[in-house]
Amino acid sequence: MALSVSAGTRRRRGPQARRQRLGLLFVLPAVLLVLGIFVLPVIVTGVMSFYDWSLLGDRTFVGLSNYERLAGDVQFWQSLGFTTLYTVIVTAALLVVGFALALAVRNRRRGVGLLRTAYVMPVVIGFATASYLTLWLLDDRIGIVPDLLRRVGLVDGNVSVFSDFSSALTVVVVLVVWKTVGLTMLLLMSGMQAISKDFYEAAQVDGARPARMFRSITLPLLRPTIGLVLILTVIGSYLAFDQFFILTQGGPDNRTIPVVYLIYRAGFIDFNLGYSAAMSIGLMVILLILTSIQLLIVRTREDS
């Protein structure tokens, strides 16, 4: 009797084990992809950060010297401060504009599909292409915008947008918002459409106004989506490079240098891969801390 039971158990476990092996085979390519694209480069970068590694010369182990230099690098902290300022401005602008667009197109009616398409289309344009287009539009010699401003009498003489810090930052922020707000709108719109209409109908029966329903129903139930938007926006803003490399080139007076631009200059202009790797690891740690804080806030508010 015992032998027949054990044999039956083995027969049942046989198909289950085969399914588990097949499942592992299906997952294996994704695991290898993650290891090859994400984990391995992080490990290599971490190893490089402990060396005085010249792009064209030999490498020498220096231990924590690159991190000690990073801790006292005034330019790095200034660049981090500017990147943080840029991130705060872009994040706030994307949330405000994205919310407004999502509220405008979340309900089905005539013409909404065309508006959604128009708002999302800039997302598919690369940052380099959008930056060169902006540079061409604002060029003082051949640009349409400076010529138009002179024709209407708003300016007289040369128009140098990128010679002033405020105007240069404004142009970059407007470009980024125009380029990426479509994705923010889609995420927020999807979150709004997932909220049951029963909540709004019950609130209307109780006499709640639209502003009250937005504050008491939409915002609380949209909190996970807002958390996702914040994480994506903050990470993308801290990793900004193309728009500054093409439009401002760090000017004026090196005041618009984001951290990634500084990492690029250290590695491929100064040929110091070790210090560039140390800055990369430092930026990664900062992003991990910021992302963890945002996830913790969203989770805590959901639990409460």
133 in the same domain as 196: yes
Q: Which residue has the tokens 């590694």?
A: 53
DSSP string, 87-129: HHHHHHHHHHHHHHHHHHHSS--TTHHHHHHHHHGGGGS-HHH
- Band the pLDDT of 26: cuts 50, 70, 90: confident
30 in the same domain as 112: no
**Is residue 48, in this structure, part of any structural domain at all?**
no
150 in the same domain as 8: no
**Is residue 56, in this structure, part of any structural domain at all?**
no
250 in the same domain as 152: yes
Query: Which of the residue ranges 27-41, 57-71, 109-123 would you say has the lowest mean pLDDT?
Result: 27-41
Query: Which of the residue ranges 194-203, 237-246, 262-271 would you say has the lowest mean pLDDT?
Result: 194-203
222 in the same domain as 141: yes
- pLDDT of residue 161 exceeding 80, the answer is yes
**Is residue 53, in this structure, part of any structural domain at all?**
no
- pLDDT of residue 58 exceeding 90, the answer is no
**Is residue 198, in this structure, part of any structural domain at all?**
yes
**Is residue 52, in this structure, part of any structural domain at all?**
no
254 in the same domain as 150: yes
pLDDT score recorded for residue 263: 95
Structure tokens at 129: 């292409």
- Band the pLDDT of 3: cuts 50, 70, 90: very low
261 in the same domain as 228: yes
CATH of the domain at 99: 1.10.3720.10
Find, among 200, 176, 193, the residue nearest to 94 by Cα.
176
Q: How many domains does the chain have?
A: 2
**Is residue 128, in this structure, part of any structural domain at all?**
yes
145 in the same domain as 33: no
CA dist 102 to 98, 177, 224, 244, 295, Å?
Answer: 6, 14, 16, 28, 23
Element containing residue 273 per DSSP (H, E): helix 273-303
26 in the same domain as 124: no
72 in the same domain as 128: yes
77 in the same domain as 14: no
Find, among 181, 180, 186, 190, the residue nearest to 221 by Cα.
190
| Terminal Cα distance for the chain, rounded | 55
249 in the same domain as 120: yes
The verdict on pTM exceeding 0.85 is yes
- Band the pLDDT of 5: cuts 50, 70, 90: very low
**Is residue 49, in this structure, part of any structural domain at all?**
no
Largest CA distance in the chain: 101
pLDDT tens for each residue of 272-291: 999 999 999 999 999 999 99
- pLDDT of residue 2 exceeding 50, the answer is no
Domain range for residue 268? 61-303
